[in-house]
Amino acid sequence: MKNIVFSMLMMMPFFAICQSKKLNTLVVKEISNNWTFKEIDGTHKGKATVPGTIHTDLIANKLIEDPFYRINEEKIQWIDKKDWEYATTISISSTEFKKNNIILNFEGLDTYADVFLNDKLILKADNMFRTWETNVKPILKLGENQLRILFHSPINKGLALLKASPYGFPASNDQSEVGEIGDKKVSVFTRKAGYHYGWDWGPRLVTSGIWRPITLKAWNDVRIKDVYIQQPKVNKTAANLVAAVTVQIDKPFLGNIQIVNPQTKEIYTSSNFNFKVGLQTLSLPFVIKNPKLWWSNGLGKSNMYHFNAVVLDKEENPIANQETTTGLRSLKLIREKDAVGESFLFELNGIRVFVKGANYIPNDNFLPRVTQGDYQKVIKDAVDANMNMLRVWGGGVYEADYFYKLCDENGLLVWQDFMFACSMYPGDEAFLANIKQEAIDNVTRLRNHPSIALWCGNNEINSAWHYYSKGGWGWKETYTPAQQDELQKTYLKIFQNILPAVIEKYTVGDNYWPSSPQAGYEPDKPASYETTSGDMHYWGVWHGQHPFEDFEKYKARFMSEYGFQSFPDFETVKKYTIPADYSIESKVMAAHQRSGIGNLRIKEYMDLYYKTPKNFADFLYMSQVLQARGLKTAIEAHRGAMPYCMGTMYWQINDCWPVASWSSTDYYHKWKAAHYSIKKAYEPILIFSKADADKIEIQGVSDLLNDKKGTLKLSVIDFDGIKVFSKTVEVNLFHNTSTKLFEGKKLDILANGDTKSVVLKIEFLNEDKVLADNLYYFEKPKDLKLEKPDIKTELVQKEGKTFVKVSTNKLVKDLYLNFPNETVFFSENYFDLLPNESRWIELTSAHKMDIGKLEIKHIQQSSKE
């Protein structure tokens, strides 16, 4: 992550009366240079990068090998059992030293940390997710100062807490055996990213270190600590706002606060105050008429407003300021009773939005090495796939400010979990107090982001625990009735009391949901595959071995999780393997498949739909084709159920290391087949077919806000390109809902064609322009009579862009294009190419491609016995 070091923040001139006045400056200095680390009671030491982790510092100093390569993860489980010390020297100038107030701000310490300044203990931290601030004015001296941080082993701390606990806690994803501590699940005792301890898609790499910046802040008399732009009422005619400005005051004085547009210099509001010593929050209401509203991706522009809060003394000298950015919008979670249950949907500026999104996990096991470029890529991947929401999942971290900034700017709504997932937790007062402050820190940090749509208490705990009835994951049955009651009491304290109370106190009407999935707000309403309220995690496909067709059977008011695995691309696999590892069941490939049932489950489903390849590279390719088919089937079912269902978010958009997983883009951000399929399935207009033994139904779905008249064109084409049936129908596609466009007898549409040798092409046209299209096959891919095609390709330069033009004489199923060992993005890939049609695929690459090196895969080729 790029470090931005500020030696001083100077206020720009912002309105006429103060342009000649000098602002009493706030000094902000990042403490990021000249760090060292060393192992306590050991020999490992070296130069450190801050922010960073002990693992990345050991890698950089060549003391360990890349943990992601082959099975190196196994060799470094000793690291988390050690204590580590980080140290640096802070140089304090006379300008800084003369300030009345000097603090050190620790944005992220991972996790059990004792902080010493000039050998005096100034802080004991025990929560990775919290921000820690401490006054160091009495301890600092002019010139050189020694800062030292001792990180205690999170595993040893956890083991001590487990030993002191009357019983252990369920944490099924904690890979304690990999961590060489047996069946001792210690992750629940530590407020640290759960996925660091392993998950069914991630390694066990339990980090320590300074994972977010440390800054020194120095000022005189007045500091603005926070500015919250509250939005009690916003619509297209007026935004009624309140600027809640929290100030820290050394001496009482009469003064003024102004809220200014830093771009136009317009003063939105100005109020006089009698400032008192200490922290106080002052409110300034104001109105912006005819605001440019913030819209999610697909509905409009994600307009942002900039506000500068300025404190002036009685002589109208500006003495402190802080700039804040937000978007103006009304965003509500709508839960309304209806004939079958209760809705679960988001209403943005009065528009009911169908959510098209994905679950999001951290981009790396070593968080500080996630660059701004990485964030830009994953957000672009979401936007380019027509998404409008990401769910920040509760086993990771509250993401970096830059992530939410990008979501704001790109119109991506955020479902924000609190960091609790798939575990029960201790209930002692110190632990609960720690959770409360963690929630306050992150809610106040993130509440100005217009992208935040929902705060959710946890991931899957209510459905796993299932306290009020039989069911769940079997946790409850391992405890005595008294222990069950005690665990339930703690659960209610955290998710029905502490967290919603923080949301109520520190936001103005933000939405809260206790657990995902849940059939209602009350904890006695766990979700099931039959519930008609709340949100659902449907894992019948994959865990339950339901066929893909059951996505049509099991629907939800809001589908917040579902998915299917695939392997990464062979180009990615090459990065962490050697040729000796090129077998699905090799030790290395098994180590990069953390779902115990994963490889077998992929093959079981592949046998249902495809001819399973024996070649390693072809099997990787076919796994991606299979995943794409599953997710396409799911999304069409969910969008087709609109408005009963008003959201679909598959698991998951990204990876934290190179691995076989449910992701649609791999660790290196390379699109899998699924992401191309999702991009098309998430387009504003979707048309698709549903069929039974006798009839075919064509359904259209539109996210547009106006009805769209057009022509539905149906064509049945054999695999040689001969059209055996065609029909056009004038239709009206209704806005913001799903519409049945056509129904016909299957035999009439087939027109005596062989079901194994024809495909139905569906197109929706408006004024001769194709707005949406799709293909429907009458048989599973393994039963199709696919012949060897003659595929022709050429590179074409047009208007400064590079294209691959591809054509064929026979149907090509799931055509994959690749330039081996090159970083190239294809605008389309893994697509079906009809006979006698040409497709132009745009290439994005840093250098020129050679068409002779283009690699092609397709089902006909990869399905050979």
Q: Which contacts (CB < 8 Å, 24+ apart) does range 547-555 have? A: 547/608, 548/605, 548/609, 548/629, 548/630, 548/633, 548/634, 549/633, 551/630, 551/633, 551/634, 551/637, 551/638, 552/633, 552/637, 552/690, 554/529, 555/637, 555/638, 555/641, 555/644, 555/645
Confidence (pLDDT) at 25: 74
* Contact (CB, 8 A) for 840 and 796: yes
Among 225, 246, 222, 258, residue whose Cα is nearest residue 15? 258
Among 634, 630, 671, residue whose Cα is nearest residue 649? 634
Confidence (pLDDT) at 4: 33
650, pLDDT greater than 50: yes
Confidence (pLDDT) at 10: 31
3-state class (DSSP) for residue 144 = strand
Q: Which among 736, 752, 783 is the end of a domain? A: 783
**On the CB side of 272, how many CA atoms lie within 13 Å of its CA?**
5
Tell me whether residue 721 is in a domain. Answer: yes
Tell me whether residue 749 is in a domain. Answer: yes
Q: What is the pLDDT of residues 417-461, one digit of tens each?
A: 999 999 999 999 999 999 999 999 999 999 999 999 999 999 999
Q: Domain check: are 162 and 47 in the same one?
A: yes
CA 182, distance to chain mean position in Å, is 31
Confidence (pLDDT) at 405: 98
Element containing residue 356 per DSSP (H, E)? strand 355-360
Q: Domain check: are 698 and 797 in the same one?
A: no
Q: Residue 718: is it exposed, middle or buried by C-beta count within 10 angstroms (0-12/13-18/19+)?
A: middle
Q: Domain check: are 195 and 48 in the same one?
A: yes
Confidence (pLDDT) at 742: 97
Cis peptide before 88 (omega within 30 of 0): no
Residue 846 pLDDT level (bands cut at 50, 70, 90): confident
Q: Domain check: are 82 and 195 in the same one?
A: yes
817, pLDDT greater than 50: yes
**Domain limits at 828?**
791-862
91, pLDDT greater than 80: yes
700, pLDDT greater than 80: yes
Q: Domain check: are 170 and 312 in the same one?
A: no
Total residues belonging to the chain = 865
Residue 856 pLDDT level (bands cut at 50, 70, 90): very high
Confidence (pLDDT) at 864: 55
Considering the chain, what percentage of its residues have pLDDT values greater than 70? 97
What SS3 string covers 255-271?
A: EEEEEECCCCCCEEEEE
18, pLDDT greater than 50: no
* Contact (CB, 8 A) for 211 and 51: yes
Q: Domain check: are 798 and 740 in the same one?
A: no
Token representation of residue 136? 């160091």
Confidence (pLDDT) at 24: 57
Q: Residue 7: is it exposed, middle or buried by C-beta count within 10 angstroms (0-12/13-18/19+)?
A: exposed
Angle at which helices 616-640 and 673-681 pack, to 10 degrees?
A: 20
Q: How far apart are CA 350 and CA 366, in angstroms?
A: 41
Q: Domain check: are 713 and 853 in the same one?
A: no
3-state class (DSSP) for residue 31 = coil
Q: Which among 753, 783, 813 is the end of a domain? A: 783
746, pLDDT greater than 60: yes
Over residues 837-859, the mean pLDDT reads 93
Rounded-to-10 torsion of CA 42, 46, 49, 52? -20
Confidence (pLDDT) at 865: 47
Single pTM value for the model: 0.95
Confidence (pLDDT) at 23: 57
Confidence (pLDDT) at 596: 87
Rounded-to-10 torsion of CA 840, 844, 849, 851? -20
Tell me whether residue 454 is in a domain. Answer: no
Query: Domains in the chain: how many in total?
Result: 4
Other CB atoms within a 10 A radius of the CB of residue 735 amount to 12
* Contact (CB, 8 A) for 515 and 561: no
- Phi, then psi, of 608 in degrees rounded to 5: -70, -35
Instruction: Kindly tell me the sign of the dihedral angle through the C-alpha atoms of 490, 492, 498, 502.
Output: positive
Q: Domain check: are 259 and 170 in the same one?
A: no
Q: How far apart are CA 514 and CA 459, in angstroms?
A: 9
Token representation of residue 567? 């392997």
Q: What is the DSSP string of 588-649?
A: HHHHT--STTHHHHHHHHHHHHSPPPSSHHHHHHHHHHHHHHHHHHHHHHHHHTTTT--EEE
Q: Which among 762, 783, 804 is the end of a domain? A: 783
Amino acid in position 541: V
Tell me whether residue 413 is in a domain. Answer: no
Q: How far apart are CA 102 and CA 219, in angstroms?
A: 7
Q: How far apart are CA 494 and CA 472, in angstroms?
A: 20
* Contact (CB, 8 A) for 213 and 148: no
Q: What is the DSSP string of 149-189?
A: EEEPPHHHHHHHHHHHSSS---BTT--TTTTTS-S---GGG
Confidence (pLDDT) at 17: 35
3-state class (DSSP) for residue 681 = helix
Whose structure tokens read 């942002």? 304
Q: How far apart are CA 50 and CA 57, in angstroms?
A: 9
Q: Domain check: are 136 and 275 in the same one?
A: no
Residue 728 pLDDT level (bands cut at 50, 70, 90): very high
481, pLDDT greater than 50: yes
Tell me whether residue 381 is in a domain. Answer: no
Token representation of residue 179? 């961590």
- The whole-chain average pLDDT of the chain stands at 95
Over residues 748-753, the mean pLDDT reads 90
Q: How far apart are CA 118 and CA 107, in angstroms?
A: 21
Q: How far apart are CA 791 and CA 806, in angstroms?
A: 7
Tell me whether residue 806 is in a domain. Answer: yes
Amino acid in position 46: G
Over residues 818-831, the mean pLDDT reads 94
Q: Domain check: are 53 and 166 in the same one?
A: yes
Indicate which CATH number applies to the domain containing 68: 2.60.120.260
Q: Domain check: are 211 and 230 in the same one?
A: no
Q: Domain check: are 200 and 52 in the same one?
A: yes
Amino acid in position 91: S
239/23: higher pLDDT: 239
Tell me whether residue 440 is in a domain. Answer: no
User: How many contiguous H segments (helices) and E segments (strands) does the chain have?
Assistant: 16, 46
111, pLDDT greater than 50: yes
Cis peptide before 488 (omega within 30 of 0): no
Q: How far apart are CA 466 and CA 487, in angstroms?
A: 12
Q: How far apart are CA 560 and CA 346, in angstroms?
A: 13
Tell me whether residue 548 is in a domain. Answer: no
Residue 21 pLDDT level (bands cut at 50, 70, 90): very low
Residue 802 pLDDT level (bands cut at 50, 70, 90): very high
Q: How far apart are CA 193 and CA 422, in angstroms?
A: 12
Confidence (pLDDT) at 752: 86
Confidence (pLDDT) at 696: 96
Q: What is the pLDDT of residues 286-330, one digit of tens each?
A: 999 999 999 999 999 999 999 999 999 999 999 999 999 999 999
- Phi, then psi, of 814 in degrees rounded to 5: 55, 60
20, pLDDT greater than 90: no
Amino acid in position 185: K
Indicate which CATH number applies to the domain containing 838: 2.60.40.10
Q: How far apart are CA 478 and CA 463, in angstroms?
A: 16
Q: How far apart are CA 746 and CA 697, in angstroms?
A: 9
